[in-house]
Chains A and B, each alone.
Chain A
Amino acid sequence: MSTAAETFRPSPRVTVLFSHSDRNYEPLDPLEVRYEVEGLDDEPPRAVEHSVLWFTEGKGEEDLGVHFFERLVAPERLPPTAPMGQFSCRLPRSPLSYEGVVVKIRWCIRVRFFFESGRDYVSEHEFAVGQLPPAQTLIATP
């Protein structure tokens, strides 16, 4: 899934390859991500951020936990000089991906580009940690 902060400019296209093609990982697994970016045209980014994080979805307010984060500002590591990027980390023991009824936990990687104009563009790609079955509603309590 990719989202653009502003829509009136053409959005870059980010193609991501995970080290597990099915995007299913177990806790403590090494995670390796390679990505390629296209469509930057004549607006090179001034910084790129890589992050591996979990966030909650559902009825409650969104909570976020960043497991891995790096920010690249050196021009030789940024597109268009380096149109491909990669990063890796070892996943933590928790939390596991969870498909609950009012609480869902998702894992994803994000690649965020910051442009000279001040706008930014984030590309988000989900993956799963663990293999828990989805939860079901039993009893609703007020």
Chain B
Amino acid sequence: MRFPRFFGKKRGHRRTGSQAWASLGDAAFHAVLLTAGIVFAGLLLSGVAVPEWRINQHFLATDCTVLGKGLARRTTAADRGGSSTWQPCLRVRYDVAGRTMESWSTPSRSTTTSDRSRAVAALSAWKLGDVVPGWYDPSAPATVVLQRGYNWWMWLLTLLLPGALVSFGGMGLARAIRRWGRSEERCAVPSRFSDILDPLAAGPRQATDRPGVPACDDLVNSPGTVLAYRLPLESPENWTLLGFGLFAMLWNSVLAVLGVGAVIDLLKGKIDWLLLTLLVPFAAVGIAGLVLFVRRVLLTTAVGPTQLEISAQPLQPGGTYEVLLAQGGSGTLESLRLCLALDEQATFTQGTDTRTDRITVWARDIRTWRDLQLTPGARFEARESFTIPADAMHSFASEHNAVRWSIAVHGQPAGWPGFVRTFPLVVFPAEPAPERGDPRREASP
């Protein structure tokens, strides 16, 4: 008997290893999460939520007369430090269905403190003989509370933490059970539970009746001023700018805290050489981060906005379409190039990293302009046309792979680094001819 493999290797495009052990491990992992969620939820419900709910829903109102005041002391074991906490308590008398009861009650949990004098001071809020509202448990009248209401953050904790564990673990376990003993193909057949059990595996939204082709709803919801649609801008530059900004802010905040500490030490006449030595390279990195961020801001704002409108969307292989390019800003552009491109994108895991490779497999210049003089308030506009090749691949997007069409605007401002702004397109597969009289159709095997 061959023992199943625990670990897999990639052999070509196939992975080795035992599917059964992988499924079992997946199911066990999610079962542990589900169990932890249920236990956690049970503890929170029985210890916090249910008692609080009973106080608010089942306890009966009464008037309590304060008879005595005291402190409840809770001391931890000596081997754990032996510390004590103090909580104010009130001895109250109240009426239960014509019967007089006396009991100790704690006014509020929040008054628990490790400082005895503060606890004693808190007791001064009540005077002996005062009548305060209270609520007693009809099934155990000796239990009386002087305060009620809901602790919302505790309820939120009760719902969120165990809820997340139960839903994540439950969905994973249900998915593992559903896949147990099933073939890869049977698991991949879409069902009404697929999106619920495995929402991440659903991949990008697809066009109706065209599997694997991305939907273009987001590309046709912005009408153009001259042509039919204004294309959205795919802007990795803005994310880079945000990244530089966040890095510069966080790094320099840490640097400022360390720097203030060092200055205070210096003012007191103390010199922490280790801190000062560390501050020098830290400051160099912080200044470099700021410089890079400011440079990025200048680059982004120095070049005016680029807009692109298109006559139709989605596109078809063999179709000819018009685009309207509008470039704002000021100064001289040494070149401005409009380019149609087809990229392939593959996402894969390498060790613990998830990497994405993008490669351009087809590109064609639509038009290039030289030495454009941009003037503020009057944007440069040009209307061009282009054709999608008749034998072109259509747009494709699945969970880890994509084939993307786009129009890129490459600009080279005078004295500034160049920029690329990309506008995504969706190309549908060519519509098949309704009846071609293909003799192969009649061929039998």
Contact = CB atoms under 8 A, between A and B. Distances in A.
Interface of A: 6, 8, 17-22, 24, 26-30, 32, 34, 49, 51, 53-54, 56-67, 69, 71, 92-96, 98, 100-103, 105, 110, 112, 114, 120, 122, 130-133, 135-141
Contact of A137 (B185, B359, B391, B445): B359
Contact of B394 (A22, A62, A63, A96): A96
Nearest to A19: B445
Interface of B: 2, 13, 183-186, 188-190, 203, 209-213, 342, 344-349, 357-363, 391-394, 396, 398-403, 428-429, 431-432, 436, 438, 440-441, 443-445
A58 B347 CA distance: 10
B429 A94 contact: yes
Contacts, number: 165
Given A22-B440, A59-B348, A96 B188 contact: no
Contacts of A22: 440
Given A18-B445, A21-B445, A103-B401, A96 B183 contact: no
A34 B445 contact: yes
A63 B357 contact: no
A32 B210 CA distance: 21
27 contacts: A19-B444, A19-B445, A21-B443, A24-B440, A34-B445, A54-B212, A58-B346, A59-B348, A60-B346, A61-B348, A61-B349, A61-B400, A62-B13, A66-B189, A92-B209, A96-B429, A100-B403, A101-B361, A102-B359, A103-B344, A103-B396, A105-B212, A105-B396, A112-B183, A132-B393, A135-B344, A140-B360
A83 B435 CA distance: 35
A118 B203 CA distance: 31
Contact of B13 (A28, A57, A122): A57
Contacts of A59: 346, 348, 357
B394 A51 contact: no
A114 B189 CA distance: 18
Contacts of A6: 2
B210 A49 contact: no
B443 A138 contact: no
Contact of A135 (B349, B361, B432, B445): B361
Contacts of B396: 94-95, 98, 103, 105
Contact of A141 (B209, B212, B358, B403): B358
In the A-B complex, the 7 residue pairs with the smallest Cβ-Cβ separation, listed nearest first, are: A60-B346, A17-B445, A95-B212, A63-B398, A135-B361, A51-B185, A61-B400
Nearest to A50: B185
Contacts of B401: 56, 58, 60-61, 63, 103
A63 B359 contact: no
A64 B187 CA distance: 10
A34 to B, nearest CB: 6
Contacts of B348: 59-61
A115 B362 CA distance: 47
Contacts of B344: 58, 100-103, 135
A105 to B, nearest CB: 7
B183 A53 contact: no
Contact of A63 (B203, B360, B391): B203
| Residue among A28, A63, A92 with most chain B CB within 10 A | A63
Contacts of A130: 429
Contacts of A54: 211-212
Contact of A133 (B346, B391, B399, B441): B391
Given A60-B345, A92-B211, 19 more contacts: A19-B443, A19-B444, A21-B443, A24-B440, A26-B438, A49-B183, A53-B185, A58-B13, A60-B348, A71-B186, A93-B209, A94-B213, A94-B394, A96-B429, A100-B403, A103-B401, A105-B396, A135-B393, A138-B361
B188 A65 contact: yes
Nearest to A59: B346
A98 B399 CA distance: 17
A24 B396 CA distance: 20
Given A71-B186, A133-B391, A138-B360, A103 B445 contact: no
Contacts of A112: 183, 185
Contact of A94 (B212, B342, B346, B400): B212
A94 B183 CA distance: 23
| Residue among A32, A54, A60, A135 with most chain B CB within 10 A | A60
Contacts of A139: 359-360, 363
Contacts of A32: 445
B440 A93 contact: no
Given A21-B445, A132-B393, A93 B362 contact: no
B186 A69 contact: yes
A53 B190 CA distance: 12
